[in-house]
Amino acid sequence: MGHFFNKLLQWFMGDKQGKILDKLVRIVLGSNLVAVLILGGIALYGMNVSLRESQNMGESLGENSYENSSSLLIKQRQEELLHIAQDNASIINRSLMDIACDVQVVARQAEKIERYPQRFMPVEVHTPAPDNYRALDLYLQYGPEVSLEPLAGHISLMANIGDWLTGMLENNVMAQSVFIASRENFALSVDAKRVLAEDKSDIPQPQYDALASDWYKSAASQEGFAFTPVRRFMFNKRLGMFCSVPYYDGNNELLGVACMQISLSDLQNVLKEINLHEGGFCFVTDKRGYVILSSQEDLGEAGTGRELEVNIKNDLRESDNPTLALTVREMVAGDCGVRQTKVDGKDYYIAFAPIESSGWSLAAAFAADDVIAPAVQNKADISKITEEKTSYLKGQMLSTMLLMVVAIIALLAAVVYSGRQLSRRFVAPISELADGVREISSGNLGKKVEVHTGDELEHLAICFNAMTDELQTYMKNLTEVTAEKERIATELSVARNIQMGALPRDFLEDKKSIQLFATMSAAKAVGGDFYDFYMLDEKHLVVTIADVSGKGVPAALFMMRAKTTLKNLMLMATAPDDFGAVMTLANQELCQDNGEMLFVTVFLAQLDLDTGEVIYVNGGHNAPLARQAGKFSYVRHKKKDKMLGMIENLSYETHRLQLSPGDMLFLYTDGVTEAMNKEKKFYTEERLQKVLDNMSGEASVKEILTEVRGDIDAFADGAEQYDDITMLGVMFCGKGQWEDFAYGKI
């Protein structure tokens, strides 16, 4: 069986024997048949898998829809609940701010009475007693240590506040009492209407230590309003609090505190009126983690058994219910958000938002089951619809399978017929093209391949013909270009040898009072840098280093001109000490016939071999480094002379430098400090100075220059040299003292 399939495969792919036409037919037929069978098998397998998967589609879609819709509904309800919490927190906050504003009005009126007593008449006021106590009437209370007689005038003056206190009570339904307390520890109060005990035992007592109360202390310690913690009032057993505001004299000294006693009943009604989904409720916690308001119950005594009942003795931050405790801690912290938690054994989503003025937090809750119910019904509906669609899909897939089998058979027949026709069309031009290529490859570049099929084969024949023409032209041009490049390379080699030969190589080793060495490395075959040194007489050494603008042959020619000009003028100078005049004449000479506008920077110096005195001129060149007392430093001047060859009418200034035995002058071109590495960073003057300072004091000039060049190469790390690198070093050893210096005796 294996032998049969091997033979069948060989037949489809084409035997080594036989015509190209038959091979192409078999290859086309075989490849298409294999492709059709593979694709058909994949399609049949896919449809079979789809049939099986369709049976699970209903359940899967229903489950996914249930999960997605549940998540969406929960998210929407969370957002809705958070808006409810924020909006109603704002409502309560505005109510509290209105109360604070009312109390501030009372405080401002008290300040007015204190500051302008001449505008008011004394008003009689009594301490509360069963026979004279009336709601909405002003009464007096005072501290246990207070004597009323010295304060009588002040009390009768401040009693003018009574009408304002009464007005505040009549206009604010939440107010139970409004009063002011003086720093002299007397208070003037007005109470709202309320039911008294038959024996009037619950009326206010004459003695009341206002200065010791928390509402007075909290207001006195700050300039704005203050809300006290919620407490249960003794006279009606309901929850409430105090809002107090300080008032001052003209010197901003505290005079007293205005205060309002507030009932939370109206805020409780606000919570009950919030429109929530069935089963939802609202509650408010204070900064102590106590529930002070709840829409689930009236403001009464604790004991309903609910986790979120109103209870000002139960800190829910310490609750045994961890999720509820975490939620309340976030509320007390002033956060805004939504959390899922259990309340009374049932899952709820609780959204909370801060009430800024009092430090409270309002929360809205709704039962989780009420949200998921629509999603459960949605899952059942999707399952029913999917089951119906699955049955329809099965019938459609069976019809598709039959249609596919018929299409495969028809496709195979079409492949066989079209394969034979296409093979005949391609074989003839291919044979002709192959014969032509064979003749061209044998060396007959004049051969033209003639193929006229109007397709890619004809284009290939045209390309072959064009290739032969281009090869003939290329071979001719290559011969000419090669000869020209060889000629140019020879000329550049000769020019480089001439240029390098013009640089002095005899480093005056016979002169015991100096040590001298120099190097020059061009960025191209020839460069624009040069150095020079020569003896003017037996005791004077002249050194020169220069950098011509540009590179290559033009820079090299200008370099030779500059070198010759400087040396000739120096040798002909009648006053050798006047280097400035020499440089001025050299500049004028180089400016003549300088059509290419090239210029050169020059450092020219003369060293007295007996005394170590250096006379130098810097024509726009890099500042040299001088080693004195064992350390290198740059030799710079405030005024920097210009380069040579640009402006004809320039004069140059001569400078002097004294070297001692062992001191050294290091000259260089900008190719040193501006050498670049692969990251395009410069070598820099700082690095050059650091490398020189790290040299041994016993190192020779040649060793120093070699070490600097090695550090430049290490810094460049293989990057291409961009500019010529030239260095010259001269060390003054003292007259006849080189041997002693070299051996460390000096």
pLDDT digits (tens, 9 = 90+) for 146-184: 999 999 999 999 999 999 999 999 888 888 899 999 999
pLDDT digits (tens, 9 = 90+) for 495-551: 565 666 668 888 888 888 999 999 988 877 566 788 999 998 889 999 999 999 877
| β 239-248/138-142 pair status | unpaired
Structure tokens at 540: 């004077």
Mean pLDDT of the chain: 82
Structure tokens at 200: 């009037």
Per-range mean pLDDT, top range of 55-59, 400-404, 440-444: 400-404
Q: Which of 355, 363, 356, 293 is nearest to 324 (CA)?
A: 363
How far apart (Å, rounded) are the C-alpha atoms in residues 49 and 424?
Answer: 43
pLDDT band for 366, please (50, 70, 90 cuts).
confident
Query: What pLDDT does residue 731 have?
Result: 95
Q: Which of 193-197, 356-360, 383-387, 579-583 has the lowest mean pLDDT?
A: 383-387
For residue 745, pLDDT over 50 is answered with no
In this predicted model, which residue has the larger pLDDT, 323 or 5? Answer: 323
Query: What pLDDT does residue 403 have?
Result: 79
Say which residue the tokens 């570049």 belong to: 445
Buried b (16+ CB within 10 A) or exposed e, 463-484: ebbeebeeeeeeeeeeeeeeee
The domains of the chain are located at: 120-264, 503-742
Q: Is 11 helix (H, G, I), strand (E, B) or coil?
A: helix
pLDDT digits (tens, 9 = 90+) for 319-345: 899 999 999 999 999 999 999 898 888
Q: Which of 117, 272, 248 is nearest to 182 (CA)?
A: 248
How far apart (Å, rounded) are the C-alpha atoms in residues 268 and 310?
Answer: 11
pLDDT band for 741, please (50, 70, 90 cuts).
very low
Query: What pLDDT does residue 358 have?
Result: 87
For residue 310, pLDDT over 90 is answered with no
Please give the biggest Cα pair distance in the chain: 142
How far apart (Å, rounded) are the C-alpha atoms in residues 631 and 664?
Answer: 10
Contact 235/261 with Cβ under 8 angstroms?
A: no
pLDDT band for 742, please (50, 70, 90 cuts).
very low
For residue 744, pLDDT over 50 is answered with no
How far apart (Å, rounded) are the C-alpha atoms in residues 713 and 675?
Answer: 9
Query: What pLDDT does residue 724 have?
Result: 87
* Residues written for the chain: 746
Q: Is 602 helix (H, G, I), strand (E, B) or coil?
A: strand
Per-range mean pLDDT, top range of 45-49, 609-613, 732-736: 609-613
Query: What pLDDT does residue 300 have?
Result: 47
Percent of the chain with pLDDT over 90: 38
Number of H helices, E strands in the chain: 15, 22
Q: In what order do the strands lie in the sheet containing 725-732? A: 514-521, 725-732, 664-668, 625-628, 631-634
pLDDT digits (tens, 9 = 90+) for 670-710: 999 999 999 999 999 999 999 999 998 889 999 999 999 99
CATH superfamily of 503-742: PPM-type phosphatase domain (3.60.40.10)
Tell me the mean pLDDT in the region 395-418.
74
How far apart (Å, rounded) are the C-alpha atoms in residues 99 and 108?
Answer: 14
Query: Cα 708–713–716 angle (5° rounding)?
Result: 125
pLDDT band for 202, please (50, 70, 90 cuts).
confident
Query: What pLDDT does residue 297 have?
Result: 67
How far apart (Å, rounded) are the C-alpha atoms in residues 582 and 571?
Answer: 10
For residue 14, pLDDT over 60 is answered with no
Structure tokens at 734: 């003292």
Total Cβ atoms within 10 A of residue 705: 19
CA 679 from centroid of its chain's CA atoms: 24
Backbone angle region of 303, left / alpha / beta, with phi > 0 → left and psi within -120 to 50 → alpha: left
For residue 141, pLDDT over 70 is answered with yes
Classify residue 123 by burial, with Cβ atoms within 10 Å: 0-12, 13-18, 19+. Answer: middle
Backbone angles phi, psi at 286, to 5 degrees: -100, -175
Contact 366/81 with Cβ under 8 angstroms?
A: yes
pLDDT band for 641, please (50, 70, 90 cuts).
confident
Per-range mean pLDDT, top range of 3-12, 81-90, 109-118: 109-118
pLDDT digits (tens, 9 = 90+) for 535-593: 988 899 999 999 998 777 788 888 888 989 999 988 887 765 678 889 999 999 999 98
How far apart (Å, rounded) are the C-alpha atoms in residues 537 and 471?
Answer: 67
pLDDT band for 313, please (50, 70, 90 cuts).
confident
Backbone angles phi, psi at 258, to 5 degrees: -95, 145
Q: Is 275 helix (H, G, I), strand (E, B) or coil?
A: coil
How far apart (Å, rounded) are the C-alpha atoms in residues 602 and 726?
Answer: 12
CATH, domain range 120-264? 3.30.450.20
How far apart (Å, rounded) are the C-alpha atoms in residues 85 and 79?
Answer: 10
Residues 6+ apart with CB under 8 A from 548: 528, 529, 530, 555, 556, 558, 559, 562, 598, 599, 600
Q: Which amino acid is at 268?
A: Q
Contact 497/491 with Cβ under 8 angstroms?
A: no
In this predicted model, which residue has the larger pLDDT, 468 or 717? Answer: 717
Classify residue 62 by burial, with Cβ atoms within 10 Å: 0-12, 13-18, 19+. Answer: buried
Query: What pLDDT does residue 229 have?
Result: 92
Structure tokens at 722: 């961009």
Query: What pLDDT does residue 589 have?
Result: 92
Classify residue 552 by burial, with Cβ atoms within 10 Å: 0-12, 13-18, 19+. Answer: middle
Query: What pLDDT does residue 584 have?
Result: 92
DSSP code per residue over 480-502: HHHHHHHHHHHHHHHHHHHHHHH
Residues 6+ apart with CB under 8 A from 160: 113, 120, 121, 123
Residue 356 DSSP code: T
pLDDT band for 427, please (50, 70, 90 cuts).
low
What angle separates helix 552-572 from helix 456-502, to the nearest 10 degrees?
10
Contact 558/598 with Cβ under 8 angstroms?
A: yes
DSSP code per residue over 216-245: HHHHHTSSS-EEPPPEE-TTT--EEEEEEE
Residues 6+ apart with CB under 8 A from 205: 128, 141
In this predicted model, which residue has the larger pLDDT, 65 or 38? Answer: 38
Q: Which of 494, 555, 495, 508 is nearest to 530 (CA)?
A: 555
Contact 654/676 with Cβ under 8 angstroms?
A: no
